[in-house]
Structure 1
Amino acid sequence: MGKLRTLTRRTFLIGSAAIAGGVAFGTYLVKRSIPNPLLDDLQDGEAAITPYIKIAPDGITLITPRADMGQGAYSIQALLIAEELDIDPATTTITPGAPDPAYYNAAVLAEGVPFPAYDRSTMAETARAFMSIPAKLFEVQITGGSSTVPDSYDKLRTAGAVARETLKEAAARKLGVARADISTKNGQVVLPDGTVIPYTDLAADAAQLDPVTEVELKPATAWTRLGKPQQRLDMVAKCTGTETYGIDLNVEGMVYATVRANPGIGGGIARLNSDAARTTAGVQQVLPITSAVAVIADNTWSAFQGANALDITWGPAPFPENSDRMFEALEAALGDDDAFDHRQRDDGNIDAALERGAEIDVTYRVPYLPHAPMEPMNALVHLTKDACDIWVGTQIPLFIRKKAASMTGLDEEQVHVHVQPMGGSFGHRLEMTHVEQAIEIAIEMRGTPVKLVWSREEDMTHDYPRPAAVARGRGRTDLGHVISMDLSVAQSAMTPSWMHRLTGMTLPGPDATITTGSWDQPFAIPNYRVTGYRAPDMVPISSWRSVGASSNGFFHDCLLDELIHAAGADPLAERIRLCMDDTSRKVLEAVGDMCGWDGPDLGYNHGRGVGFCMSFGVPCAQVVDVTQTEEGIRLDRVYVAVDVGDVLDPVNLEAQITGGVLFGLGHAMNCELTYADHAPEQDNFYANSGLRLYQVPEVKVKALTNGTRIRGIGEPGVPPAAPALANAIFAATRQRIRELPLNRHTDFV
C-alpha cells in the first residue's frame, strides 16, 4: 500500500515535526505556508500544480532544485517525479529552477543530530524529524551530504502523484467521467473507452483546480522506471562535449576578469605595482578589490596574462607559516584539556581498561586536501540599477542571493541566481568567495556583464581545503578479541569556519565533524571511547567529499585493524563479531562472500585489507587486494558492498560507488596540500595526482537492500578506501603506514 500525502494549493510538505518545532520556534513559524514559486509567473493556459512541475500547452517542465555536480542529481530527481507522473523524463524540460525557500533540504541537517545512523530509537528518529524545522525556517536550500535522494524520495514522488491525480481530475470534470475510471500512460490520461489526452492539453483545465492531495504512491513492485537500469539524462551531452557549464557561458557586451589574491588566505596586500599588467595586450583595467586584485580584459587569456604581470607583495597570513608548524599545533591540541571539544562515544570504562598500559598506542596523520574539481571557480554577474543576475554553478544558491543583496543594496527579489551544471565540486562549490569577487567587480562596472574565471593555480591555492588532522589510538585485546579502543582526534573546526564565511556569524558549541565517521561506527567494543579536540583556527577549511569521515574513516578503521592483528584474530571475522547493527553486519558478510575471504594473506608479496565505515547512514565495506612488486605496490582488485535501502538507479549507484572508491584510493596514495611561507605548494593537477588509468584496479560492487531508509551514495564509497588500502599494504609487506598520503612511505606502480 502506498503512502497518503496532503498539501494545500500554495504549500508543499511542511514536515513531520511541526508540534516539536512549535515548542522551539513558535507554532506559526513552523506551520507557515511556503508559497509555490512557480505560480508567480504563470502564463495563460499553464499549470503549476506543485513547486516541482509546470505543465504548459507546449511541454512539461520538471524542477530539480538539488544541484548537479556530475553525480546525476538532475536525473534522479526527474525520475522520482516521472515515476509517479507517468511520463518519460527525456521528453520534458529539466531545470533547477530559481532558488527559493520552497526547496529547503531537511535531510542534510538530519545527519547532524547526536545519534549514530544505526540508532533507530524513538528519540533519535524524533531528533531527525525535528531538523526539518530549522531547515525550513532558515531556508536551507543546499546540495551536499549525500542528501539529494533522502530529501527528495517522498517529496518528489508525492509531487508527481499529486500532478497525476489533478490532471485526471481535470479530464474527469471536462468529460463527465469518474476519476477512478481514468488511468495514465506516457504523459497522457487514458479514458475508459481508450481515448488518450496529452497532459499538455489539460494544462488550462488543471490550472483552475485545487490540487488533488489525497494520493497513493506506487509500491516499489509497481515501479516502471525507478529501480531499473537507466541512462542518465545528461549522458549524451556530457559524452559529446555539448553540455554547457558555467565556464562556457557568454553574454553580449561582457568583459572577462580574473583575480590574484594572497595565497595566505586572509593576509591581504602589502604593496601593489600594476604598471606591467595595465600594458598587457587586451587588459582594460586593473581593479583592487577586497583582499585581491582584479584584472579585466577582452578575453580570459589576456586577463590571466595581466594577472601574471602584477607585482604584489603579500601581507602576512593569520596562520602558521608552514606545514610543520601546523602539525605541531594539531599535536599540541591532542589530549589538551583546554582543547577538549566533545565526546559522543564513551562505552564501558576505558581508563580502567588501560590501567596496565595500552597494547597499541599509535599516532595517525592526514594532510590538508584541495577539492580540485575539473572546472575552476567562475561566475558571470550582470548588475544594473534594478537587478542583479548571477550565473554560477553552486550548491548554495540562497546564500548567494542573500549575499548579493547585501553587497548591492538590492532587495533579494531583485537578485536572480541562475544555477548552472557543474564540472565537479567535491565540496568546493559550497563556497562563494569567487561570486563575491565577481559582484565587487560588477559594482564598479555597473551595467556591464562581468565573467570572472579563476586560473587553475588560483583555484588550487585559494581553495578552502579538507582539514588536516592528527589522531592518537590506544587499545587492548584479550583472549583473541578486541576489548578496549580509545581514539582521540584533533583538527581545526570546519563547520564554524565555513558558516562564518557564508553568514558572518560564529557558531557556538562543538564541531561534530571533528569525530564524524569514528564515534558513530556500529561496533560493540566493551570499552570504547572517541574524543574530539579542537585545534586553533589555521588555514580556513571547508567540507570535502565525505566530510569528517574522509579522515576519521582512516583513523578508526586502521586502529581497529591494528588491534585485531594484535589479538591474533581474523580482520573480517572480528569486525563481524563486534558489529552490533544487522544491516552493517550483512554488508561485512557480503564483501567477504564477494572476495572469497580466507584471511588477509594471499601468498608471497600478496595481501588484502578490509575497510569499513558507516557515513551518511550508509554502511560500506571494502576489500582491497594488492601485490608488492619490485617497483612498488600494485592495486589488483577492490570489492565493495553497501546498503542504501531501495536502489533507485542501479547504473548510477555502481558508477558513484566506483568513482568514490577510486577517488578515495587516489587521494590516499598521492594527494596532499602542504604549506611553505603561508602558501600552498601544490598549485596544479600535476602536483595533486589521483589514480592514473594504468593504476586503476578492477572494482566489483554489490548493493544490498536491507536498510529501512533510502540513502544517498555520492560520498560513502570514499572513507573505507584509504584504510582498506593501508591494511592491504600491511598484509602484503608487514609495514604499517599511519600517515596519508601513503606515497610518503611506499611506492606505487
Structure 2
Amino acid sequence: MARGKTIARRAFLIGSVTVAGGVAFGIWRHATPYDNPLLDDLPDGAAALTPYVRITGEAITLITPRADVGQGAVSVQAMLIAEELDVDPAQVATEFGPPDRAYWNTALSEEAVPFRATDRGWLAETARDVMDAPMKFLGMQITGGSTTVPDGYEKLRRAGAVARETLKATAARLHGVERAALRTEGGAVILPDGTRLSYESLAAEAAHTEPVTDVRLRDPDEWRLVGTPVQRLDIVAKSTGTQDYGIDEDQPGMLHAAIRLNPGHGGALRGYDAAGAGGMRGVTRIVELPGGVGIIADNTWRAMRAAEAIACDWAPAPYPAGMDGHWQTLADSFTPDRQDSRLRDEGDVAAALAEGADVEVEYRAPYLAHAPLEPLNATVRYTAERTDIWTGTQVPRFVQGNAAAITGQDAGDVHVHVRVAGGSFGHRLEDTVVQHATRLAMAVPGTPVKLTYAREQDMGQEYPRQIAMARGRGRVSGGRVTAYDLGIAMPSILTSQMGRQAIPTPGPDLQIVAGAWDQPFAVPDYRVTGYRAPELAPVSSWRSVGASTNGFFHDCLLDELIHAAGADPLEERLRLCHHAPSRAVLAAVGEMSGWGGSMGPGEGRGVAFCLSFGVPCAQVVEVRDTGDGIRITRVWVAADVGRIVDPVNFEAQMQGGVVWGLGHAMHGALTYTEGAVEQRNFDTFRSMRLHECPEIVVRGLETAAKVRGIGEPPVPPAAPALANAIFAATGTRLREMPFDRRVSFAG
C-alpha cells in the first residue's frame, strides 16, 4: 500500500494524496472522522484524503457536495474553496462527489433544537453542538434549509487553505527553499525567482508531503472572490441551453419508462388490465409497482401513451377524499390532547384574555405543489454486481440506501451520480422516483432505464407543502399591542417526510411553529402553541417549510392587533422588536420604501417581518387598486445573513424568494377531489406571471453574528406583506390563501 494511502487510513484529518496519479486535499473537523470516500477502489500506489479538492497531472477538480437545484450551490461552494486555494473558479472543474457519510451537513443542527435563532447562550449553543452528533452518525448528506453557505463557509475555505499550503510545502521541499518564501497565484506556486509551478505539476509529489494542517484563513480584506460580484459557473450553459440536467441523461442502449400510480397518493392498486397497452408500438415490459404500474418502451412518449392505456382498479386514498375533510381535521385539532408544543409562553395570556379579545381571527393556508420546471426523473442501470443511478437529488445517501434495499445489494455497490436539477423547492428531497426506476431497471438487467414522470404524474404524486390553520387572539391598550395568542394546527412535516426514510422523529415537530414561536418581539403576554393534526395527504418540505405558512399567520395577526391599537405598522414592530439585526432590517425597508410618505387613492403599503433559518427578513409591498384589480407595483426587501458570499446570487435569491412567496399567495393551491389532486399542470396550478411581477429592490445587511443562507428567508414575509398592503389599499382583510379567492389581481 502506498505511503499516502497509509497516512489517509490512519489520520484522515487534513492532507494530500494521489488519486490516479494526482492528489486530493480537504478538511475534516471531528476527532474521529469518517474514512474518505475517495479511497474506494483506488489502484495500488494511489491514495486519497478528504473530498473537497482533487488535483491530477491534468486538472484541478473541486468537490461541491451540496446539490445544485438552481440556487447556485456549485458556484458558491467552488468560490469558497477557490478563495483560499488561489485558483480562478473558471479554471477548475467541479463534481458533486459520491454519496457518503463524510459529507454530512454540519449546519442542519441549527433548526433541530428548541432554541430561538437569536439565543446564542451557552445552553443553546451546546445543544446545537450536541445535535450535530446524530446528524453525523446518520450521515445526513442533505441539501436544504438554506444551509449550503453556513455548512461550507469555514469548512471549504479551510480545505482550500490546507491544499494551498501543502502544495507550497511540496514546492519548498523540491526546490530547497522555505515555505514562507513562496506564494501562490492563479493555480500555481511562485518561487522566489518568479518561476511558476502549476498545481497540476506538483500533484504526484504532493502525495508524499505531510499535510500542512496549521493554516490561517485569510482576512476579509485579503479576499479576491468572496463578497465580490462574480459570474456563476453555470450562467453561460444555462443562458445558451447547453446545461445538462438529469432529464438529459443518455446512456448507451437506454430504454425509457413511464408510470401510472394511484391518484389517491399512497393508495393501493387492486388490479389492472394492460391488454390495451401491451401490444402498443415500442412497449417492451409492463411492471407492477407499489401503488401502480410501470411501462418500459423504446422512447418516453410511447411509454407515457401506453401508461394511459392501462385500466386500473384503485383503492381509496388513505386521507379524506375532499378538502372539507382536510379542513375539518385541522379545526378539530385545536385541543389539549393534540398539543405538540408551547415553546413561547410569556406573561399570563389566559389572564390577559379572560375578559375577551380585541382581535380574534382564523387563518388558512392550503397545500401547495413544488412544481419545478424539470419533472422528476431517474436513470438506473442494474446488474447483479452493481447498480448505477443518474438523477438530480438533494439526498444522495437516501437514494443509495433505498436502492440498495430494493436490489438487495450492499450500499457500496450502488453508485449515485448526482446531476444538476432543473428546480426543486424541496421536491428533490424525496426519492420515490428513484425507487420506481430501480424496480423497473431490475426487470431488464444490464440495460439502463430512464424513468420520466409526465407532468400530470409529477404533480398528482406530489408530497406538497403542508396544509395549515391558525387561530389568533390578542389585546391592545394605550396604542400598543399587549397580548398575543396564536395557535397553529398542521400535520407533522417531519413525521411524514422522515417516515418515508424510516428515520424516527421523536418529540415535538418544531416546523409546526417555525417562523412563529421564535420571532424577536417582546409582547408582555405572548403565547404560541403548536397542534399536531393527524396525518392527511403525505407532505414534505416546501421552500421555507413551516415558516412558509407561519410567517403569514404570525405577522398578519400582529398587523391586525397593531391596527386595532391605532399604531403605525412599522413603528410598533420596531418598538416590540428586541433583536438588533431584526430591528435593522425593519428600519432598512422603512428607509428604502420611504415609509410614512403620502399615498394616492387606492394605493397602500404593507410591511411584514419573519425571522426564519436564523435570518431576519423584512419586506414592504406596495399595491394599487386599479379598475382591473390589485396590481403589485414595488417591493422592498432587506435581510441580514451575517456575510454575503456572492452579492449577485444574494440579490437573485432574494428576488426569487419574493416572487415565489407572492405568486403562491396570490394564486397557488393544491386541492383534492375524490382523493386525487385537481391541479395537475401549470394551467391549473398558477403562480406569478411575468406581467404581474413588480420591481423588487434588495438590500443585504451584514451585522448578524453567524453566517447564514438566503434561499428560503425571503419567502415567509411576502404573503403577509401583500395581505397587509391590500388591507391598507382597500380595507379588506385577507386571512386565507390564495388571495384570488377574495380579490382580483390585474391581468
Give the alignment's TM-score, normalised by structure 2: 0.96
Distance in structure 2 (CA, Å) of the matches to 1:619 and 1:115: 16
Q: Could you list the per-position Cα deviations for residues 485-543 of structure 1 after superposition, in whole angstroms to 9, with x for gaps in the alignment? A: 0000001111011111112x443321111110000110011111000001111101100
Which residue identity lines up with residue 385 of structure 1 in the other structure?
A
1:364 touches 1:739 (CA, 8 Å); kept in 2? yes
2:14 touches 2:49 (CA, 8 Å); kept in 1? no
Structure 1 residue 110 displacement after superposition: 2.0
1:523 counterpart = 2:521:
yes
Distance in structure 1 (CA, Å) of the matches to 2:280 and 2:571: 66
Q: Secondary structure at the match of 1:333?
A: coil
1:540 counterpart = 2:538:
yes
Q: Secondary structure at the match of 1:341?
A: strand
The answer for the alignment partner of 1:124 in structure 2 is 124
Which residue identity lines up with residue 564 of structure 2 in the other structure?
A
Q: Could you list the per-position Cα deviations for residues 246-293 of structure 1 after superposition, in whole angstroms to 9, with x for gaps in the alignment? A: 000111112110101011112111231111111222222222111110
The answer for the alignment partner of 2:600 in structure 1 is 603
The answer for the alignment partner of 1:724 in structure 2 is 721
2:26 touches 2:162 (CA, 8 Å); kept in 1? no
Distance in structure 2 (CA, Å) of the matches to 1:428 and 1:513: 17
1:617 counterpart = 2:611:
no
The answer for the alignment partner of 1:549 in structure 2 is 547
What is the correspondence of 1:294-313 to structure 2 with a 5 Å cutoff? 294-313=294-313
The answer for the alignment partner of 1:436 in structure 2 is 435
Stretches of structure 1 lacking an aligned partner (at least 5 in a row): 1-5, 19-30
Distance in structure 2 (CA, Å) of the matches to 1:236 and 1:43: 36
Distance in structure 2 (CA, Å) of the matches to 1:741 and 1:61: 46
2:26 touches 2:53 (CA, 8 Å); kept in 1? no
Distance in structure 2 (CA, Å) of the matches to 1:74 and 1:46: 27
Which residue identity lines up with residue 301 of structure 1 in the other structure?
W
Question: Could you say if the C-alpha distance between residues 446 and 380 of structure 1 is closer, same or farther in structure 2, counting changes exceeding 3 Å?
Answer: same
Distance in structure 2 (CA, Å) of the matches to 1:269 and 1:385: 29
Which residue identity lines up with residue 87 of structure 1 in the other structure?
V
Distance in structure 2 (CA, Å) of the matches to 1:13 and 1:230: 25
Q: Could you list the per-position Cα deviations for residues 95-146 of structure 1 after superposition, in whole angstroms to 9, with x for gaps in the alignment? A: 1011111111020232111111111111111212222211111111000000
Distance in structure 1 (CA, Å) of the matches to 2:14 and 2:739: 56
Q: Secondary structure at the match of 1:470?
A: strand
Question: Could you say if the C-alpha distance between residues 241 and 47 of structure 1 is closer, same or farther in structure 2, counting changes exceeding 3 Å?
Answer: farther
Distance in structure 1 (CA, Å) of the matches to 2:509 and 2:732: 34
Q: Could you list the per-position Cα deviations for residues 25-46 of structure 1 after superposition, in whole angstroms to 9, with x for gaps in the alignment? A: xxxxxx4331222234557997
What is the correspondence of 1:397-408 to structure 2 with a 5 Å cutoff? 397-408=396-407
The answer for the alignment partner of 1:643 in structure 2 is 640
Distance in structure 2 (CA, Å) of the matches to 1:507 and 1:108: 14
Structure 1 residue 729 displacement after superposition: 0.2
Distance in structure 2 (CA, Å) of the matches to 1:55 and 1:106: 25
1:380 touches 1:451 (CA, 8 Å); kept in 2? yes
The answer for the alignment partner of 2:564 in structure 1 is 566
2:643 touches 2:707 (CA, 8 Å); kept in 1? yes
Q: Secondary structure at the match of 2:154?
A: helix
CA RMSD of aligned residues (A): 1.5
Distance in structure 1 (CA, Å) of the matches to 2:128 and 2:518: 15
The answer for the alignment partner of 1:88 in structure 2 is 88
1:104 touches 1:140 (CA, 8 Å); kept in 2? yes
Which residue identity lines up with residue 684 of structure 1 in the other structure?
N
Which residue identity lines up with residue 726 of structure 2 in the other structure?
I
1:653 counterpart = 2:650:
yes
Distance in structure 1 (CA, Å) of the matches to 2:560 and 2:514: 20
1:45 touches 1:57 (CA, 8 Å); kept in 2? no
The answer for the alignment partner of 2:148 in structure 1 is 148
1:45 touches 1:207 (CA, 8 Å); kept in 2? no
Distance in structure 2 (CA, Å) of the matches to 1:316 and 1:663: 33
Which residue identity lines up with residue 447 of structure 2 in the other structure?
T
What is the correspondence of 1:442-521 to structure 2 with a 5 Å cutoff? 442-503=441-502, 505-521=503-519
Structure 1 residue 14 displacement after superposition: 5.4
1:394 touches 1:429 (CA, 8 Å); kept in 2? yes
**The one of 674, 678, 681 aligned to 1:677:** 674
Structure 1 residue 554 displacement after superposition: 0.2
Distance in structure 1 (CA, Å) of the matches to 2:568 and 2:130: 41
Q: Could you list the per-position Cα deviations for residues 630-661 of structure 1 after superposition, in whole angstroms to 9, with x for gaps in the alignment? A: 11100000000110111110000000000000
Q: Secondary structure at the match of 1:201?
A: helix
Distance in structure 2 (CA, Å) of the matches to 1:725 and 1:358: 25
Structure 1 residue 47 displacement after superposition: 7.3
The answer for the alignment partner of 2:701 in structure 1 is 704
1:50 touches 1:163 (CA, 8 Å); kept in 2? no
Deviates more, 1:565-574 or 1:122-131: 122-131
Q: Could you list the per-position Cα deviations for residues 125-168 of structure 1 after superposition, in whole angstroms to 9, with x for gaps in the alignment? A: 12122222111111110000000000000100000000000000
Q: Could you list the per-position Cα deviations for residues 267-324 of structure 1 after superposition, in whole angstroms to 9, with x for gaps in the alignment? A: 1112311111112222222221111100111100001111111111211111111011
**The one of 566, 588, 612 aligned to 1:590:** 588
Question: Could you say if the C-alpha distance between residues 645 and 46 of structure 1 is closer, same or farther in structure 2, counting changes exceeding 3 Å?
Answer: farther
What is the correspondence of 1:126-525 to structure 2 with a 5 Å cutoff? 126-334=126-334, 336-503=335-502, 505-525=503-523
Distance in structure 1 (CA, Å) of the matches to 2:504 and 2:329: 21
Q: Secondary structure at the match of 2:501?
A: helix
Q: Secondary structure at the match of 2:683?
A: helix
Distance in structure 1 (CA, Å) of the matches to 2:537 and 2:376: 19
Distance in structure 1 (CA, Å) of the matches to 2:34 and 2:352: 54
Distance in structure 2 (CA, Å) of the matches to 1:576 and 1:183: 50
Structure 1 residue 48 displacement after superposition: 4.8
1:46 touches 1:56 (CA, 8 Å); kept in 2? no
Stretches of structure 2 lacking an aligned partner (at least 5 in a row): 1-11, 17-24
Question: Could you say if the C-alpha distance between residues 697 and 217 of structure 1 is closer, same or farther in structure 2, counting changes exceeding 3 Å?
Answer: same
Q: Secondary structure at the match of 1:685?
A: coil
Count of aligned positions: 727
Structure 1 residue 195 displacement after superposition: 1.3
2:27 touches 2:159 (CA, 8 Å); kept in 1? no
Distance in structure 2 (CA, Å) of the matches to 1:267 and 1:62: 44
- Give me the identity figure in percent: 55
2:27 touches 2:50 (CA, 8 Å); kept in 1? no
Structure 1 residue 50 displacement after superposition: 3.1
Distance in structure 2 (CA, Å) of the matches to 1:528 and 1:722: 23
1:69 counterpart = 2:87:
no
Which residue identity lines up with residue 317 of structure 1 in the other structure?
A
Distance in structure 2 (CA, Å) of the matches to 1:43 and 1:271: 51
Distance in structure 1 (CA, Å) of the matches to 2:390 and 2:210: 34
2:146 touches 2:709 (CA, 8 Å); kept in 1? yes
Q: Secondary structure at the match of 1:123?
A: helix
Q: Secondary structure at the match of 2:652?
A: helix
The answer for the alignment partner of 1:7 in structure 2 is 13
Q: Could you list the per-position Cα deviations for residues 50-82 of structure 1 after superposition, in whole angstroms to 9, with x for gaps in the alignment? A: 310111110101000000000000000000000
Which residue identity lines up with residue 613 of structure 1 in the other structure?
C
Q: Secondary structure at the match of 1:215?
A: coil
Distance in structure 2 (CA, Å) of the matches to 1:435 and 1:231: 33
Which residue identity lines up with residue 648 of structure 2 in the other structure?
V
1:260 touches 1:294 (CA, 8 Å); kept in 2? yes
The answer for the alignment partner of 1:737 in structure 2 is 734
The answer for the alignment partner of 1:98 in structure 2 is 98
Q: Secondary structure at the match of 2:623?
A: strand
Distance in structure 2 (CA, Å) of the matches to 1:462 and 1:195: 60
Which residue identity lines up with residue 313 of structure 1 in the other structure?
D
Give the alignment's TM-score, normalised by structure 1: 0.95
1:45 touches 1:203 (CA, 8 Å); kept in 2? no
